[in-house]
Amino acid sequence: MEIITKRFLLREFSSDLEPAFLAYHADPRYAEFCEPEFVKPEYTRELLRLFIQWANEQPRRNYQFAIVPLQNPKELLGCCGLRGEGYSDDSSEMGIELAPEYWGRYRYAIEVASGLLEFGFRELGLQEVRGFSISANAWRIGMDS
């Protein structure tokens, strides 16, 4: 399963993305917003395994995609998803995580969010999508325009 936006491919995670996923999770800028155990390589590897497992579940409630540029589908910019577990069948939680080098860059998060929302409402039949953000993201909002 994949979602195509103007600049990005939101695709299923695969093990070939592990080095890039580990790298940005280990970045001190990323770690600043996480509990220490959430940036350990073992935790990051387990998270990647979970994302791959979700792609094979039936029925599927959680969708977690790698964000890659259309021109280079091996370059990982971050991840995003719609997680329905714990919500009613027509509701989901949306999350977007960009690698630190892509924070505040050319409306990346807005484009990814638009692609996810269109997928959720049109393809999954969702009626409600919730999103949460840490307060530290507030300063970045002006940079993402």
Per-residue pLDDT at 130 exceeds 90: yes
Q: Does 143 have pLDDT greater than 50?
A: no
What's the number of domains the chain is made of? 1
Question: What is the C-alpha separation between 87 and 121, in angstroms, rounded?
Answer: 15
pLDDT tens for 9-48 read 999 999 999 999 999 999 988 888 878 788 888 999 999 9
Q: How many CB atoms lie within 10 A of CB 108?
A: 20
d(CA 34, CA 20): 18
Can you give the CATH number for the domain in which 48 is found? 3.40.630.30
Given a cut of 50, is residue 140 above it in pLDDT?
Answer: no
What pLDDT does 141 receive? 41
Range of the domain at 72: 2-144
